[in-house]
């Protein structure tokens, strides 16, 4: 029987009991009835509450509990249960944890509205704060701090101050959480709270660290000096803090690094550039200068510590943590090291659609700045048919950014399949992307153009239209070579029906009429015939075409142009009429404005700047990556830019800690008993680093470490066994795995003897195997002895 069923049936039976029992309960509750019941308007409602109230006043615990559940149910649905306040609050003294908890929930919601009555409950919390059980102390503090009643500010302050010194780390953590709440209630207390925060920041247990930093971020993010002394410890403990705490600490550390260390790329920049240009066989001549530059920059050891300690977190299962580490690397790491985040970000593309969208958006910005890091993962950005439209656009954008001369052919082939996808809008975007690739990579411009021209013969209108528009832009960038394409497009003008595409074609004809002087007047003739039925945007371009042709070749087109202008003069659209008036004055009435008319040709056929093929997606790079502001493209409340690196590094000695904190090592050994046996060396550095950064130490004294060594040997043995067994594996499987589908096999029992002894129906004989396993274990060890 599932939990829900049970709770349903109990609540149903409770109702029955509730009525039967009401007479017993009502005696006690008489005093409490009047103030609340007057509030409700609907009689039905009133009755319902009446019934709950009686249940609350009864002396049976299960009735009370059921009543509380119904009250909370009402709150959850958004109904008002405020009139039950007195009846609920007195249950706070209940011995039953479940009831107590629900009363707490109720209090948090309604205390603000009924402050006077809420004060009655305060004494209970104060008692709770002194309870020997740490869980009760913590929850009392948590609820007390959640009650938003200004009159108890001083009580809260006292409670927090006491709890911050509590023995239990869990209570201290709760105290840290409460700080933000109290600050929200009364910002005046800032200075007092900072004192407590300073104390909590120095706490030695990982449980507290996350919440302490959270409080710091909330109350006094500008007091970066409080972090100095704790910086190294926070870095070292980072991997062990809980995942939500890691997020806050990472944010804080990013900011810290940006204010305390110098830009690792600044002096490095030119050098790095030449490094990446190597591929393109462009070596800079001034090598000497750069190597000098390189020597001048040595990364601060604390800066390095941060990067080293955050790197393991890329393996976290929490995608937000991975994102945040990636962001930290993006802002803080030297350019040559950013690439390590790529792999992990690619992995996040496998998670839920929403996270995928956020990650892709961030990758877009990162790829824009550091193309090379995502280059190897090109294929991960291929679009799948079930991607959401935003995901598709971001992938397209990333592919476009990553395109270069070496991979462009595969990308173009991929784009080509997108163009034909059933999602028309996406197809159009893909064409646009092809255009962008063509304009940025000169080697493929021609191929792209040909491809686009090919697309124009497709039946689909949106595809044709988009291709024309993109071709137009491309031609404009480099018109000299492509006379043939222009001719090809001109022939299309009758078939294309989408207005924007028609307008683009007409504009092209007008602009490059000198190249197709034979066609152009004929096109105008055709257009003149259907002028009244065209869309405004097309009419506009017909007028442009007429005017340009008149300037170029007035003899042949004079009458035609006059005709078009006359049609336009009586058009329904005033823009068209105005434009006609302007053009007529310019071309035919030279006496009215001689200065302009003289220059008509210059005006109409002025060289136009080529358009930039821009991304379809707006970047929000001005905001810090991964934050809400970045995602929605506008500054959210409380948004602050990440500060720039200072020109001079701060004094690193401020981070020195004189005394070696002993408790951290204790804690570590408690979690990891094997480590406790290793001797902690290097005390003179004054940092507790050596306990956590195993890599260096292990490399140094691998031989002295007893237990680890032993393990390694074991593993080697295993390895040998594995190899030995690998050929037997097949044999075994052929016997055992006839008709094998998805069944468990035993992990260690693999030696051939087992297989022979084993009955075929392996599932039914688990018990037997258990005993056999020991045998097999000994079997294996003898085998191995022989081998050695």
Least Å from the CB of residue 221 to another protein: 12
Q: How large is the angle between the packed helices 519-530 and 483-492, nearest 10 degrees? A: 20
Structure tokens at 262: 């110098």
Q: Counting contacts by CB under 8 A, is residue 318 touching another protein? A: yes
The span of 429-437, 484-492, 599-607, 668-676 binding another protein (CB under 8 A) equals: 668-676
Structure tokens at 538: 């097309």
Closest CA to 435 of 446, 448, 447, 423: 448
Q: How large is the angle between the packed helices 408-419 and 424-440, nearest 10 degrees? A: 160
Q: Counting contacts by CB under 8 A, is residue 694 touching another protein? A: yes
Question: Nearer Cβ to another protein, position 571 or 772?
Answer: 772
Q: Is 78 left (phi over 0), alpha (psi -120 to 50) or beta?
A: left
Structure tokens at 303: 């800066």
Q: Would you call 6 exposed, middle or buried from its count of C-beta atoms within 10 A (0-12, 13-18, 19+)? A: exposed
In whole angstroms, what separates CA 593 from the centre of its chain? 61
Q: Counting contacts by CB under 8 A, is residue 244 touching another protein? A: yes
Task: Centre a 10 Å sphere on the Cβ of residue 355 and count the other Cβ atoms it contains.
Answer: 16
Identified binder of another protein from the candidate list 298, 632, 654, 662, rule CB under 8 A: 632
Question: Nearer Cβ to another protein, position 178 or 516?
Answer: 178
Q: Counting contacts by CB under 8 A, is residue 150 touching another protein? A: no
Identified binder of another protein from the candidate list 716, 757, 765, 768, rule CB under 8 A: 716
Least Å from the CB of residue 782 to another protein: 14
Question: Nearer Cβ to another protein, position 271 or 697?
Answer: 697
Length of the chain: 788
Q: Counting contacts by CB under 8 A, is residue 85 touching another protein? A: no
Least Å from the CB of residue 582 to another protein: 41
Residues numbered 416-455 forming contacts with another protein, rule: CB under 8 A? 417, 420-422
Closest CA to 123 of 152, 101, 96: 152
Closest CA to 367 of 392, 341, 332, 328: 341
Residues numbered 209-228 forming contacts with another protein, rule: CB under 8 A? 211, 214
What's the rounded Cα separation, in Å, for the pair 408 and 523?
Answer: 37
Identified binder of another protein from the candidate list 62, 198, 265, 553, rule CB under 8 A: 62
Q: Counting contacts by CB under 8 A, is residue 744 touching another protein? A: yes
The span of 201-209, 278-286, 506-514, 516-524 binding another protein (CB under 8 A) equals: 201-209
Q: Counting contacts by CB under 8 A, is residue 187 touching another protein? A: no
The span of 388-396, 536-544, 552-560, 682-690 binding another protein (CB under 8 A) equals: 388-396
Q: Counting contacts by CB under 8 A, is residue 251 touching another protein? A: yes
**Cβ pair 360, 351 in contact under 8 A:** no
Q: How large is the angle between the packed helices 424-440 and 389-402, nearest 10 degrees? A: 10
Identified binder of another protein from the candidate list 324, 467, 544, 751, rule CB under 8 A: 324
Q: Counting contacts by CB under 8 A, is residue 741 touching another protein? A: yes
Closest CA to 82 of 45, 54, 55, 27: 45
Q: Counting contacts by CB under 8 A, is residue 630 touching another protein? A: yes
Residues numbered 536-595 forming contacts with another protein, rule: CB under 8 A? none
Identified binder of another protein from the candidate list 280, 695, 756, 785, rule CB under 8 A: 695
Question: Nearer Cβ to another protein, position 285 or 699?
Answer: 699
Q: Counting contacts by CB under 8 A, is residue 386 touching another protein? A: yes
Closest CA to 405 of 270, 272, 279: 279
Least Å from the CB of residue 398 to another protein: 14
Identified binder of another protein from the candidate list 45, 50, 51, 61, rule CB under 8 A: 61
Question: Nearer Cβ to another protein, position 324 or 445?
Answer: 324
The span of 153-161, 200-208, 443-451, 655-663 binding another protein (CB under 8 A) equals: 200-208
Q: Counting contacts by CB under 8 A, is residue 683 touching another protein? A: no
Closest CA to 224 of 244, 201, 193, 204: 201
Least Å from the CB of residue 634 to another protein: 7
Question: Nearer Cβ to another protein, position 14 or 257?
Answer: 14
What's the rounded Cα separation, in Å, for the pair 503 and 506?
Answer: 5
In whole angstroms, what separates CA 154 from the centre of its chain? 40
Least Å from the CB of residue 533 to another protein: 23
Interface pattern 609-628 for another protein (x via CB under 8 A): -----------------xxx
Backbone angles phi, psi at 476, to 5 degrees: -65, -35
What's the rounded Cα separation, in Å, for the pair 208 and 171?
Answer: 9
Helix ranges (H only) for 78-110 are 85-89, 97-110
Closest CA to 619 of 386, 393, 307: 393
Closest CA to 488 of 461, 460, 456: 456
In whole angstroms, what separates CA 561 from the centre of its chain? 58
Least Å from the CB of residue 695 to another protein: 4
The span of 45-53, 207-215, 260-268, 607-615 binding another protein (CB under 8 A) equals: 207-215
The count of chain residues that interact with another protein, using the rule CB under 8 A, is 147
Closest CA to 436 of 459, 466, 462: 466
Interface pattern 332-351 for another protein (x via CB under 8 A): -----------xx-xx--xx
């Amino acid at each position: 029987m599932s939990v829900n069923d049970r709770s349903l049936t109990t609540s149903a039976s409770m109702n029955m009991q509730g009525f039967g029992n009401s007479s017993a309960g009502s005696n006690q509750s008489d005093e409490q009835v009047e103030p609340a019941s007057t509030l409700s308007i609907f009689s039905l409602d009133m009755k319902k509450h009446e019934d709950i109230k009686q249940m609350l006043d009864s002396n049976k615990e299960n009735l009370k509990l059921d009543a509380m559940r119904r009250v909370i149910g009402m709150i959850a649905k958004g109904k008002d249960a405020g009139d039950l306040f007195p009846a609920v609050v007195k249950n706070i003294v209940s011995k039953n944890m479940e009831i107590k908890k629900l009363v707490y929930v109720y209090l948090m919601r309604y205390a603000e509205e009924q402050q006077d009555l809420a004060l009655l409950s305060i004494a209970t919390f104060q008692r709770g704060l002194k309870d020997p059980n740490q869980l009760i102390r913590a929850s009392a503090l948590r609820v007390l701090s959640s009650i938003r009643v200004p009159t108890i500010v001083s009580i809260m302050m006292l409670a927090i101050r006491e709890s911050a010194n509590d023995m239990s780390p869990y209570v201290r953590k709760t105290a840290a959480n409460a700080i933000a709440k109290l600050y929200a209630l009364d910002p005046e207390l800032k200075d007092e709270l900072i004192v407590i925060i300073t104390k909590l920041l120095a706490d030695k247990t990982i449980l507290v660290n996350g919440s302490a930093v959270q409080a710091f971020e909330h109350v006094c993010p500008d007091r970066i000096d409080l972090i100095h002394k704790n910086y190294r410890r926070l870095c070292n403990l980072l991997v062990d803090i809980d995942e939500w705490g890691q997020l806050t600490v990472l944010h804080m550390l990013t900011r810290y690094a940006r204010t305390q260390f110098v830009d690792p790329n600044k002096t490095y920049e030119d050098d790095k550039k030449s490094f990446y240009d190597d591929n393109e066989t462009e070596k800079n001549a001034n090598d000497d200068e750069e190597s000098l530059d390189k020597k001048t920059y040595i990364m601060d050891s604390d800066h390095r510590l941060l990067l080293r300690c955050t790197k393991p977190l890329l393996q976290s299962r929490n995608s937000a943590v991975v994102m945040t580490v990636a962001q930290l690397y993006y802002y803080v790491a030297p350019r040559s090291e950013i690439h390590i985040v790529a792999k992990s970000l690619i992995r996040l593309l496998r998670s839920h659609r929403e996270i995928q969208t956020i990650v892709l958006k961030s990758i877009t910005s990162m790829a824009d700045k550091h193309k090379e890091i995502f280059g190897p993962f090109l294929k991960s950005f291929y679009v799948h048919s079930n991607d959401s439209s935003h995901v598709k656009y971001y992938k397209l954008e990333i592919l476009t950014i990553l395109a270069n001369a070496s991979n462009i052919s595969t990308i173009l082939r991929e784009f080509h399949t997108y163009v034909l996808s059933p999602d028309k809008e996406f197809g159009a975007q893909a064409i646009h992307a092809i255009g962008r690739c063509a304009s940025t990579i000169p080697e493929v411009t021609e191929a792209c153009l040909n491809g686009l021209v090919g697309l124009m013969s497709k039946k689909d209108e949106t595809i044709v239209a988009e291709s024309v528009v993109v071709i137009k832009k491309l031609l404009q960038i480099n018109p000299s070579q492509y006379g043939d394409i222009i001719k090809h497009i001109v022939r299309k003008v009758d078939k294309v029906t989408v207005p924007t595409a028609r307008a683009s074609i007409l504009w092209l004809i007008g602009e490059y009429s000198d190249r197709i002087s034979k066609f152009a007047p004929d096109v105008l003739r055709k257009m003149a015939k259907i002028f009244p039925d065209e869309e405004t945007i097309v009419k506009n371009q017909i007028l442009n075409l007429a005017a340009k042709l008149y300037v170029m070749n007035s003899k042949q087109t004079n009458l035609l142009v006059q005709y078009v202008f006359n049609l336009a003069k009586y058009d329904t659209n005033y823009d068209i009429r105005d434009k006609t008036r302007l053009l007529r004055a310019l071309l035919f009435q030279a006496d009215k404005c001689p200065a302009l008319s003289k220059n008509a040709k210059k005006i109409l056929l002025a060289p136009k700047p080529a358009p930039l093929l821009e991304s379809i997606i707006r970047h929000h790079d001005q905001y810090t990556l991964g934050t809400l502001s970045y995602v929605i493209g506008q500054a959210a409340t409380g948004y602050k830019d990440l500060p720039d690196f200072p020109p001079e590094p701060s004094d690193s000695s401020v981070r020195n800690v004189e005394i070696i904190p002993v408790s951290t090592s204790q804690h570590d050994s408690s979690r990891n008993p094997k480590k406790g046996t290793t001797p902690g060396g290097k005390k003179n550095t004054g940092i507790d680093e050596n306990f956590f950064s195993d890599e260096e130490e292990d490399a140094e004294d691998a031989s002295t470490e007893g237990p680890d060594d032993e393990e390694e040997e074991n593993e080697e043995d295993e390895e040998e066994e594995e190899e030995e067994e690998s050929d037997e594996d097949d044999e075994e499987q052929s016997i055992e795995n006839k008709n094998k589908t998805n069944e468990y096999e035993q992990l260690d029992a693999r030696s051939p003897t087992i297989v022979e002894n084993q009955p075929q129906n392996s599932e039914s004989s688990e018990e037997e195997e258990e005993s056999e396993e020991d045998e097999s274990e000994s079997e294996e060890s003898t085998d191995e002895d022989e081998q050695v």
